[in-house]
A and B are shown apart, each in its own frame.
Chain A
Amino acid sequence: MSDLETFRAETRAWLEENCPPEIRKPVESEKDICWGGKQWTFVSEAQKTWLERMAARGWTVPSWPKEYGGGGLSKEEAKILKEEMRELGARSPLDSFGIWMLGPALLKYGSHEQKLKFLPPIARGEIRWAQGYSEPNAGSDLASLATKAVDQGDHFIVNGQKIWTSYADECDWIFALVRTGPMEPKHDGISFVLIDMEQPGVTTKPIKLISGKSPFCETFFDDARAEKENLVGELNRGWDVAKYLLTHEREMIASGGSGLFDARPLGQHAAQTMGVEDGMLVDPVLRADLTRCDIDGLAFMCAIERYKDEAKAGVGMGAKSSVLKYYGAELNKRRLELMMDIGGSEEFEWESPATNEGKIARMWLRTKANSIEGGTTEVQLNIVAKRILEMPGA
């Protein structure tokens, strides 16, 4: 047996023995996804056990180095672990901005001390991180951000406002882009700092979305303190860190990791919901729309596979990740529009148990942000035009 085959066999055996049965079922509610942090309450003993067991092996972050709480796995091994977890139907033990964003940034730009201090608590799900990028007046034009951090020797004093900080009211720390060089050209005066949210100078206020939910906040800094030792990368070089993270985020989206697009065909759902006559969906116009959407969905999944294979063969995805971000977001919106078409008037019931409190309608509304968050559709198209097609101007 090759090393990898041995690893697969051992992994399978370990998962089989250690993954609690409750964890081998599909996620049903939001609480089934474990985000960790000081305020986290586990939905079940199984959720807690699973996190602890996986964290102890470093498998919440399998490819991070062992000394920072990771599993030290190679790419191939990490892939095997993923496959085996999927095979078993095991849920992810921990999801967080710490794992997806801050971790990779620290691994690349952080000092050894910063890594030692911050990475292991992320891996163990002890500290939950918020992302502080966007501001009311710095959205698509993120680099115009104005939250300022003034140098006070061993620390900065931070003033300003962030918006769209996901779950900030449940987070412990925030990684933020702040302006440290007010006189420099806008990209060259930004720094990446880590700020403890447990201080009087940091407050949050939930934002209610059109879906009726409030997973986002406004975060206010009033003379908040950020230690200098918690500056990541060089002073005024925060944009490099942000850019690196953005690429990382898009690659994640591209690899299907974010679940941006649900590729399950809609036809079956429509047939069950609306009914079939003579082997055809009762609504012939919708039937045509559905098959077109399903075909585009299939083509989209093929594009992801192709880009991934190209990446493995050494051709970086580069700006092509914008192709996927753009198309995936639009496709997902289309999909939910169609689900609303299928559901008809019943789907409008906002508070009824029959619709699970308007589950699909709320999802439909939520998908409208797919083409806004993480860089709008228009911005993605700008990138395609400029960076791939090398079109002049703007």
Chain B
Amino acid sequence: MPLVLNEEQEMLRDMARGYLTDKAPVTQLRKLRDTEDESGFSRDAWRDMAEMGWTGVLVGEDHGGVDMGFMAMGVIAEEMGRTLTASPFVSTAVMAATALRQAGGGAHDARWLPSIVAGEAVIALALDEGRKHDPAKTAMKAERHGNGFKLDGAKTFVADGHVADAMIVAARTAGAPGEEQGLTLFMVEKDAAGLKTERTMMVDSRNAAHVAFDGVEVTADAVLGEVDNGAVILDRALNAGRAALAAELSGSAQESFERTVDYLKERKQFGQVIGTFQALQHRCAHLFTELELARSIMMKALQTLDEAPEHAGHIVAAAKAKVSQVARLSANEAVQLHGGIGMTDEHEIGFFMKRIRVASEMLGDANYHADRLAKMQQY
């Protein structure tokens, strides 16, 4: 597959851009924030997205999905990044859908995938336990209990946790924190006894929750994939999520960049448009080159996920690292080059800076992935 969008993907992009700029632009996020909306996203927009097939972009046709693949998923995520649209797309349509599909086997996928596609179910991934993403450090325990397991511990930074109908929970059934192996994934439904979810307001005005498990009992059927071997599915879900975030970040970075270039063509100081200053031209030109590289490696990651997902870990890590870094640069340059007006809440550019910060931290920041890459290559 060449590293360009095909006709179908281009159509998808045009449709997504049209819909999102019209129905879910940055003003929607501002409104969700200012009205302290309970869901943290527009349920109407989410229904529309389901109707357009986005929720089923990674779901097989057997479960009602459109199964368009990762490149198409990236197209949607990138456009959502441009409009900073809040939705459970990454948690549910990307990560949960990937995990459920990978686990296969009938029970969980048959139960949840059709309702994901229908835009009915929101499913969160409850993984992180500390301030920095690091799945191997998972300490939360699942102990054998009768026929099933009992979960005790706490999760943080669970995207869409407070609105989730179910969660995919990573817990330790073997080994010690710090070891990649020994994790098991569980499907835990929202009304499980002992489960407590608390939303926390975030700098980017998007959803995140603290989730506490106080002796939550689940049957053996709740296991997604194999006991002690959850890492196989988890890795796939995480790679999908990281690639989606990279695409989203790339979209946000490009959008904030384009808005900045437009501003430089408009704003006058010293009797001329400030875009005539070569110092600023070079800053923009440099950033453009960075954005080109970031977008390229992001697309490569998506392409690899479509073609050889079992070998995608490396390129996804590199893409998440590179795009996170470039997106931060883009956000910083955007505010700086807007001057004082960029520091105001009234202007939208600050929303990009906030979301880019959070998305770059999510599922591992640039340092985490750089370190992982180094370790993968034995140095």
Contact = CB atoms under 8 A, between A and B. Distances in A.
Interface of A: 134, 137, 139-141, 144, 163-164, 207-210, 212, 273-274, 283-286, 289, 333, 337, 340-341, 343-352, 358, 361, 364-365, 368-369, 371-373, 376-378, 381-382, 394
Interface stretch (B51-59, B101-109, B361-369): B361-369
A354 to B, nearest CB: 9
Nearest to A164: B340
B340 A163 contact: yes
B203 A341 contact: no
Contact of B339 (A210, A349, A376): A376
Contacts of A365: 203, 350, 353-354
A207 B371 contact: no
6 contacts: A141-B270, A163-B340, A208-B346, A210-B345, A274-B132, A337-B328
B148 interface: no
A348 B340 contact: no
A208 B345 contact: yes
A355 to B, nearest CB: 9
A208 B343 CA distance: 9
A286 B367 contact: yes
Contacts of B368: 283, 285
B357 interface: yes
Contact of B370 (A285, A341, A369): A285
Interface residues of B, number: 44
B339 A140 contact: yes
A317 B149 CA distance: 71
Contacts of A373: 340
B157 interface: yes
B363 to A, nearest CB: 10
A345 B361 contact: yes
A345 B367 contact: no
Given A139-B339, A209-B344, A365-B350, A347 B131 contact: yes
Nearest to A346: B131
Given A144-B269, A283-B371, A341-B367, A348 B208 contact: yes
Contacts of A368: 332, 335-336, 342-343, 353
Given A341-B365, A344-B131, A381 B279 contact: yes
Nearest to A213: B345
B202 A349 contact: yes
B133 interface: yes
A105 B161 CA distance: 57
